[in-house]
Amino acid sequence: MIFNKASKYQNKIAIRDVTGQYSYHDILTKAQVLSSKISKQLNGKTGERVLFLCPNDASYVVTIWAIWMSGQIAVPLSPQHPQSLVEYYCTDTNSSLLVTSSQYEQHLSKLSKQVNLFVLDEDLFVNNKSLVGTTAKFYNDAMILYTSGTTGKPKGVVLTQKHFNSS
């Protein structure tokens, strides 16, 4: 799986963004910490749909990996989505949780009546010794991407872990 490959190259730089550079080890560690928090938010359940909206930086990768590590299905959002489309995705996927950064908290505040809103904070990414393993399996559903067809509402396409681990 992707996490095994990341472990193999743990000392190599995985991401460079405006906040700095992160090795695969850094990303894995931060994702494991967040994964534990997501599992707590969902009372240990797996297979739940989790919406997420993060900036285009390391937090995006950390969040999607954490969602997968906790055995959930990621539903990515874009800050360019109109509110009505975000509400549609939330309803259509019957999502249990929405993970976001403080940057988008106000933009998503209306959804807090429909779905539990979990806002990432800087303290969340402090290294933690009690790390959890991944519950993601090769054939588990991994992500729902919405297509933008020419007729009707966008349709969700389910991708499995196998799709991300084919290379």
Length of the chain: 167
Q: Give the separation between CA 12 and CA 139, rounded to whole angstroms.
A: 28
Number of domains in the chain: 1
Q: pLDDT higher for 140 or 91?
A: 91
2-41 pLDDT, tens digit each? 788 888 899 999 999 888 899 999 999 999 999 999 999 9
CATH of the domain at 9: 3.40.50.12780
pTM: 0.81
State which residues form the domain around 25.
Answer: 2-164
CA max distance for the chain: 50
101 Cα distance to chain centroid? 12
User: Does residue 90 carry a pLDDT above 90?
Assistant: yes
Q: How confident is the model at residue 125 (pLDDT cuts 50, 70, 90)?
A: low
Contact 64, 27 (CB under 8 A): no
